[in-house]
Structure 1
Amino acid sequence: MNARRMLHLIQQPTPTLPSRTNLLCLVAVLVVATIVAILSLMVGTRDVPPFEVLAAIAGDTSTLDRAAVATRIPRTVLALIAGAALGLAGSVMQGITRNPLADPGILGINTGASLAVVVGVAWFGISSAHSFIWLAIFGAAATSVFVYTIGSMGRGGATPLKLALAGTATAIAFSSLVIAIVLPRADIAGGIRSWQIGGVGGATFERMEPVYGFLIIGFVLCLLSARKLNVLALGDELAAGLGENVAFARIIATIGAVILCGAATAVCGPIGFVGLVVPHVCRLLVGVDYRWLLPFSALGGAILLTVSDIVGRLAARPSELEVGVVTALVGAPFFIFIVRRQKVKQL
């Protein structure tokens, strides 16, 4: 990143009038998100015409088509908000660590959240939705600290590649622990295995209600960290020289990202690669200014997860692929491409 350009951005106390290009991109992304949401309501085992979708949204469920749409509305809402949470969290994590490989899945944070939930269910009999969320947030936070500590050891400190390797190793180890815990428990094995794949099927507004407050807090903390992430991108020494409290800025942004990861994992299961793919694509659209990048990453994550859900429904009719499988099929090649193309030292 050009330090002089970023310094110019930081020195502006408030944003100037948004560029016409970015505004046009924002409008275009919002239109795409709306179209994708409507397609999600239309597509499934039973395809529904657009006018029936509009009637169902208005509350009329008198026909089979409209009743089918009514069952898809919570699923679509969950895909949108969970995708937005994961896309935003990934962008924030890349800014905090200055690591282009940072992603809640690659760094093992989603797996840590899922391990905490599985331990709570299997060993302590926890079953309430609020408890799941707290467990997932605790697991995500503990894993992020653990991975960063491991990745910081040795020469060079916490380089992007070391963090990615530490996170991948942690994710594999935690996944093995989840299997070891679940295998002897036939009473919970089916539900846990389905949840572990990561998906938005079977969503209801009652099931999602406990997570709304956590998501709002996470979104607010992350979006308010945009200017601080711009400062951190200059490097810790220069950021401190500009008067920024580096440790405090990282802690606030990290708390927001961890809350988003934990809340999304609690309700959907661990879904990977959304937070890796989306920020890179958004940088091509709006550049490196986090005041633009963060909201675009949230919208991009919502679009990617919803499209992945649609693809999963179409690919295996009359059954379906869980959205976690589809995002892995898209994200794994992208991860390899980023590793091979970039000198993954810092953003």
Structure 2
Amino acid sequence: MLFLCLGCVTLVILSLVSVAIGSRTIPLNEVFHAFSDPADSSVSAAAARLRVPRTILGILAGVALAVAGTLMQGMTRNPLADPSILGLNSGAAFAIVVSMAFFGLNTPKQFIWVALIGSAIAALAVWLLGSMGPSGATILKLTLAGAVVTAMLSSLTSAILLPRIQVISTYRFWQVGGLSGARFALMVPVLPMLIGGLTLALLTIPGINALAMGDELAEGLGSRVKFTRGVAWIAAVLLSAGTTSLAGPIGFVGLVVPHAARLLVGSDYRHILAASAVLGPILLLAADIIGRVLTRPSDVEVGIVTAIIGAPFFIILARGRMLRQV
């Protein structure tokens, strides 16, 4: 409980800093004045109001990706599981490229639904492939199916991009993953999907705790293994696809955050999920703030910063796990 309180306080502080810091730094008193006085038309007030959607998207994306990663690692018992294992990123990327190359789509509002559909279809393909055979959806088959679908879609995406220079220049901004294009008008249609995914995630926690002990033992304790895994899969798809459609393929949040949460609060997935939901937005907002400060007045997209932060952190975590097993 103390950790969650400290995490929430940290998140509030980072949210204020996120609104205050950018190409132009705004004192906190001017930030509060910008929202207490709607008639204020100063440059500082306009900048503060523009940064609010970006900050809110960072919080939503951080929560969604961290919870999705927690579900994926729990239901597959795979410590390397994250949204990419479902083929979500590659499915969204392929759909975006196809829409650009063959249908002429080029606006963020259009990309949201295209990426969402691509992610959902890729995840469905992974589930169907991983469920083939009498044993149904097993950990190994789901992991292999995710790798196969990701490799195939990545190859097709490259094949479409290579002869189309104009498409590459447009696509690369979405591919990096970032919060700079945040708009309330784009976020509102996806909110029901994120809320639905979080609700399903909460409902699956008892089953995920049982799955952590192994399928056979979970079934012996009365847990419906296939049902739990299916619902958790749907929740992860809703959360990951919704976030990917809004912010692009932001990496390492769903991979690293559940490990950090597990180290801090133990192995109970009720505590891991709550801790991940706080740590995810903290990581994403901190990465976004760092990206704005490093190359001011321009921005480094948050997807690049999370990779720089997440890669060495994950190596440290993985090394720690290996040393404990020796």
Q: TM-score range by the shorter chain?
A: 0.7 to 0.9
What is the alpha-carbon distance in structure 2 between the residues aligned to residue 185 and residue 208 of structure 1?
30
1:279-309: per-residue Cα shift (whole Å, max 9, x none)?
1111122211111211221221111111111
Which one is further off, 276-285 or 326-335? Answer: 326-335
Which of the residues 285, 289, 295 maps onto 2:264? 285
Aligned pair partner of 2:33 in 25, 48, 55: 55
* Aligned amino acid, residue 314 of structure 1: V
Give how far 1:149 is off. Answer: 7.1
Does the residue aligned with 2:83 lie in a helix, a strand or coil?
coil
Q: Does 1:240 align with 2:223?
A: no
Quote the residue 2:310 is aligned against. 331
Instruction: Return 5+ residue gaps in structure 1 as ranges.
Output: 1-22
User: Aligned pairs, how many?
Assistant: 315
SS of equivalent to 1:234: coil
- Deviation of 1:115 after TM superposition, in Å, equals 1.8
Q: Assess if the C-alpha contact under 8 Å between 1:113 and 1:140 holds in 2.
A: no
Q: Which amino acid aligns with 1:240?
A: E
Aligned residue type for 2:48: V
In 2, Cα distance between the equivalents of 1:68 and 1:176?
Answer: 41
What aligned pairs does 1:193-212 form with structure 2 within 5 A after superposition? 193-212=172-191
Measure, in 1, the Cα distance between the counterparts of 2:145 and 2:313: 19
Q: TM-score, normalised by structure 1?
A: 0.82
Residue identity matched to 1:66: A
Contact 1:52–1:65 (CA under 8 A) maintained in structure 2: yes
Q: Cα 1:145–1:201, aligned 2, differ >3 Å: closer, same or farther?
A: farther
Match of 2:301 among 303, 319, 322: 322
Identity %: 46
Q: Which residue of 1 aligns with 2:119?
A: 136
* TM-score, normalization by structure 2: 0.87
Aligned partners of 2:267, 2:34: CA distance in 1, in Å?
40
Contact 1:105 1:271 in 2 (8 A): no
Return the match for 1:89 from 68, 93, 117: 68
Alpha-carbon distance in 2 for matches of 1:275, 1:72: 24
Deviation at 1:159, TM superposition (A): 5.3
Shift in Å, 1:318:
1.5
- 2:235 aligned partner: 256
1:1-347 equivalence runs, <5 A: 23-58=1-36, 60=38, 61-105=40-84, 108-125=87-104, 128=110, 129-143=112-126, 148=130, 158=139, 163=143, 171=150, 174-342=153-321
| Distance (whole Å) between structure 2 residues aligned to residue 279 and residue 119 of structure 1 | 33
Distance of aligned partners of 1:88 and 1:59 in 2 relative to their CA distance in 1, 3 Å threshold: farther
Query: Do the aligned residues in 1 keep the contact of 2:97 with 2:171 (CA within 8 Å)?
Result: yes
